Amino acid sequence: MIKQDTLFIPGFPLQETMFVDPEPNPTSDPISDWLEDSASYIPSFLDDPFGSNTIIDDRWWLQPQDLDQEIFSTSVANSTNTPTTPSDLLVFSDQSKQLTTDSSKKRKAPSTAQVKKPVRRGHGKSTKDGCNSDNRSGRWAEQLLNPCASAISAGNVSRVRHLLVVLRELASPTGDANYRLAAYGLQALSHHLSATRARVAEVVLPASSFSTVKPKFFQQSLINFNDINPWFTIPNHIANNAILQVLSDHDRGSSGGLHILDIGVSHGVQWPTLLEALSRLPRGPPPLVRLTVVTPTPDNTQIPFANGPPGHNFISNILRLANDYKINLHINTVDSCPLQNLNTQIIKSSPEDILIVCAQFRLHNLNHNNPDNRTEFLKAMRRLEPKGVILNDNNADCSCNSCSTFETGFARRVDNLWSFLDSTSVAFKGRDMDERKMMEGEASKALMSMCSMNERKEKWAERMIGAGFAGDVFREDVMEGARALLRKYDNNWELRVDECVGLWWKGQPVSFCSLWKIDSKSS
Amino acid sequence: MAMVFNHLLDLDLSHYSTTTTESTTTGDDDHYCNLGDWSPVVDWDALSVHPQENFNGLLEFEPNEDDNDHHMNLDSPTTLMVEPPVSPFSDDVKGLRLVHLLMAAAEAMATDNKSYDLAAVILVRLKDLVSPNEGTNMERLAAHFTDALLSLLETSARGVVGGLHYKQNHHLHHPTDVLAAFQLLQDMSPYVKFGHFTANQAIIEAVVHERRVHIIDYDIMEGIQWASLMQALISQKDGAPPPYLRITALSRPGSGRKSISTVQETGRLLTSFAASINLPFSFHQCKLDSNETFKPSSVKLVRGEAIIINCMLHLPHFTHRPPTSISSFLAGARALNPKLVTVVEEEEQKVEGGFVGRFMDTLHHYSAVYDSLEAGFPMQGRARTLVERVFMGPRIVGSLARVYREEGEGGSWGAWLTAEPGFQPVNISFANHCQAKLLLGLFNDGYRVEESASNKLVLGWKSRQLLSASIWTCLETN
For chains A and B, what is the number of CB pairs under 8 angstroms?
A: 98
pLDDT of residue A9: 37
Residues of A with CB under 8 A from a CB of B: 130, 132, 137-140, 143-144, 152-153, 155-166, 168-170, 178, 190-197, 406
Q: Tell me, yes or no, if B121 comes closer than 8 A to chain A by beta carbon.
A: yes
**Whose CA is closest to A148, among A106, A178, A118, A182?**
A182
- Cβ pair A143:B108 closer than 8 A: yes
- Cβ pair A137:B117 closer than 8 A: yes
Report the gap between the CA of B105 and the closest CA in chain A (Å): 10
Give Cβ neighbours of residue A437 (< 8 Å, ≥ 6 apart).
A173, A207, A208
Bigger pLDDT: A2 or B113?
A: B113
Query: What average pLDDT does this structure show over A248-260?
Result: 79
pLDDT of residue B155: 82
- Cβ pair B53:A156 closer than 8 A: yes
Query: What average pLDDT does this structure show over A166-177?
Result: 92
Give residue A486's pLDDT band: very low, low, confident or very high (50, 70, 90): very high
Question: How many H helices and E strands in chain A?
Answer: 16, 11
- Cβ pair B118:A140 closer than 8 A: yes
Please determine, for the modelled complex, whether the ipTM score is greater than 0.90: no
Report the gap between the CA of B67 and the closest CA in chain A (Å): 7
- Cβ pair A164:B81 closer than 8 A: yes
pLDDT of residue A6: 38
Tell me which residue in B53, B63, B82 faces A165 most closely, judged by beta carbons: B82
* B55 → chain A, closest CA residue: A158
Give the tens place of pLDDT for each residue, A154-164: 999 999 999 99
Report the gap between the CA of B116 and the closest CA in chain A (Å): 8
Give the tens place of pLDDT for each residue, A111-131: 333 333 333 343 333 434 444
pLDDT of residue A186: 93
In a mutational test of the B interface, the residue from A132, A161, A190 whose CB has the highest number of chain B CBs within 10 Å is A161
Report the gap between the CA of B152 and the closest CA in chain A (Å): 18
In angstroms, rounded to a whole number, what is the distance separating the alpha carbons of residues A92 and B164?
A: 26
Tell me which residue in B56, B68, B80 faces A164 most closely, judged by beta carbons: B80
Q: Tell me, yes or no, if B160 comes closer than 8 A to chain A by beta carbon.
A: yes
pLDDT of residue B449: 94
Query: For chain A, first and last CA: distance in Å?
Result: 29
In B213-242, the residues whose Cβ lies within 8 Å of chain A are: none
pLDDT of residue B60: 31
Report the gap between the CA of A94 and the closest CA in chain B (Å): 16
pTM for the model: 0.73
- Cβ pair B77:A191 closer than 8 A: yes
Q: Tell me, yes or no, if B82 comes closer than 8 A to chain A by beta carbon.
A: yes
- Cβ pair B121:A161 closer than 8 A: no
pLDDT of residue A349: 87
The pLDDT > 90 percentage for chain A reads 46
**Whose CA is closest to A270, among A302, A305, A223?**
A223
- Cβ pair B115:A132 closer than 8 A: no
Q: Do residues B285 and B264 lie in contact, with contact meaning Cβ atoms separated by under 8 Å?
A: yes
Query: For chain B, first and last CA: distance in Å?
Result: 18
Query: What average pLDDT does this structure show over A458-481?
Result: 92
**What are the two backbone dihedrals, phi and then psi, of residue B341, each rounded to the nearest 5 degrees?**
-125, 120
- Cβ pair B70:A190 closer than 8 A: no
Bigger pLDDT: A45 or B258?
A: B258
Q: How large is the angle between the packed helices A271-279 and A230-249, nearest 10 degrees?
A: 30
pLDDT of residue A484: 94
Q: Tell me, yes or no, if B51 comes closer than 8 A to chain A by beta carbon.
A: no
Task: Give chain A positions within 8 Å (CB) of B353.
Answer: none
In a mutational test of the A interface, the residue from B50, B53, B107, B117 whose CB has the highest number of chain A CBs within 10 Å is B117
- Partnered with residue A493 across adjacent β-strands are A505
User: Where does residue B15 rank: exposed (0-12), middle (13-18), buried (19+ CB within 10 A)?
Assistant: exposed
Task: Give chain B positions within 8 Å (CB) of A191.
Answer: 77
- Cβ pair A162:B100 closer than 8 A: yes
Element (H, E) at A444: helix A434-448
* B80 → chain A, closest CA residue: A161
- Cβ pair B55:A162 closer than 8 A: yes
Q: Do residues A165 and B100 lie in contact, with contact meaning Cβ atoms separated by under 8 Å?
A: yes
Tell me which residue in B55, B77, B101 faces A193 most closely, judged by beta carbons: B77
Report the gap between the CA of A197 and the closest CA in chain B (Å): 7
In angstroms, rounded to a whole number, what is the distance separating the alpha carbons of residues A462 and A464?
A: 5
Bigger pLDDT: A116 or A140?
A: A140
In angstroms, rounded to a whole number, what is the distance separating the alpha carbons of residues B323 and B251?
A: 16
- Cβ pair A197:B71 closer than 8 A: yes
Mean pLDDT for all residues in chain A: 76
pLDDT tens for chain B, 478 residues: list them.
Answer: 333 333 333 333 333 333 333 333 333 333 333 223 333 455 555 554 433 333 333 333 333 333 333 333 333 333 333 333 444 457 778 899 999 999 999 999 887 666 888 999 999 999 999 988 888 889 999 999 999 999 888 887 664 444 444 444 445 677 788 888 888 888 888 999 999 999 999 999 999 888 999 999 998 888 899 999 999 998 876 777 889 999 999 988 765 555 556 888 899 999 999 999 999 999 999 888 878 888 888 888 888 899 999 999 877 778 778 888 888 999 998 889 999 999 999 888 778 778 888 899 999 999 999 999 888 888 888 888 888 888 888 888 888 888 887 765 567 888 888 888 889 999 999 999 999 999 999 988 899 999 999 999 999 999 999 999 999 998 765 4
pLDDT of residue B1: 35
Report the gap between the CA of A481 and the closest CA in chain B (Å): 39
* A157 → chain B, closest CA residue: B63
- Cβ pair B103:A162 closer than 8 A: yes
**3-class DSSP state of A427:** helix
Bigger pLDDT: A256 or A209?
A: A209
Q: Is the pLDDT of residue A30 over 70?
A: no
- Cβ pair A190:B77 closer than 8 A: yes
- Cβ pair A158:B53 closer than 8 A: yes
Q: Tell me, yes or no, if B60 comes closer than 8 A to chain A by beta carbon.
A: no
Q: Do residues A479 and A459 lie in contact, with contact meaning Cβ atoms separated by under 8 Å?
A: no
Task: Give chain A positions within 8 Å (CB) of B71.
Answer: 193, 195-197
In angstroms, rounded to a whole number, what is the distance separating the alpha carbons of residues B335 and B423?
A: 11
